[in-house]
Amino acid sequence: MHRSSLRLAIIAAAGLCLVVFSMLFPRLAARGYAAASPAETVPLLELSKDDGVASVQPGELITYTLRYTNTINGAWPSVVLTETVPINAHFVITGSSGGWSCADGDPAGTTCTLTVGAVTPFAGGTKTFVVQVLDPLTVATSNVQNTVIVGSNGTYVDAATTQTPLDTDIDFNFTKIDSLFD
């Protein structure tokens, strides 16, 4: 095969690999990742988050359940979850998975990390992160928004965000008095 024909064949094969990679791994492709070679495996570490409630009131706890999964072949070394205590809340150690870097009562804006360690192919796990909504609220808002990030060896891999509606309705009781001067 002539050198220029060989070069075109390699470019065409690389283009086909990129198209196949984009179809099989759209979340990674959207973030700018590309397969370095057809033989290289790119492990995908997925993350989901659930607060388990329809709404909360000031003073109540929110327990976030964080689920991470390595969905294809290839291990992720040194996996770390990163949370930030949301506005109008503080961190609660009781009920949270052990190992978070935060202290009980750490305020909104505090970054908390939890080292998970290596996640083998097709494995995963569940961790919890608990916060208490402040009473009274310090910032007027209709929800508590919280985002968790999962990464490995200092590289961002995936994130999940949950918005928990705040039930701040105040119930008033009225009594009608017909007349004071009858």
pLDDT in tens, 61-93: 999 999 999 988 889 999 999 999 999 999 999
Residue 182 belongs to a domain: no
Percent of the chain with pLDDT over 90: 59
Q: What does the pLDDT read at residue 119?
A: 95
Burial of 128 (0-12, 13-18, 19+ CB in 10 A): middle
Q: Reply yes or no: is the peptide bond before residue 136 cis, omega within 30 of 0.
A: yes
26 and 65 share one domain: no
Residue 177 belongs to a domain: no
Q: What does the pLDDT read at residue 62?
A: 98
Amino acid at residue number 9: A
Percent of the chain with pLDDT over 70: 69
Q: What does the pLDDT read at residue 106?
A: 99
Distances (CA, A) of 120 to 28, 42, 45, 111, 125: 19, 13, 10, 26, 11
Q: What does the pLDDT read at residue 48?
A: 96
Residue 135 binned pLDDT confidence (cut-offs 50, 70, 90): very high
Q: Are the C-beta atoms of residues 69 and 45 closer than 8 Å to each other?
A: yes
Backbone phi, psi, residue 181, to 5°: -120, 50
Domain that holds residue 4: 1-40
Q: What does the pLDDT read at residue 172?
A: 45
Q: Is 19 helix (H, G, I), strand (E, B) or coil?
A: helix
How much is the average pLDDT of 121-130? 97
55 and 136 share one domain: yes
Domain count, the chain: 2
**pTM value > 0.75:** no
Q: Are the C-beta atoms of residues 114 and 99 closer than 8 Å to each other?
A: yes
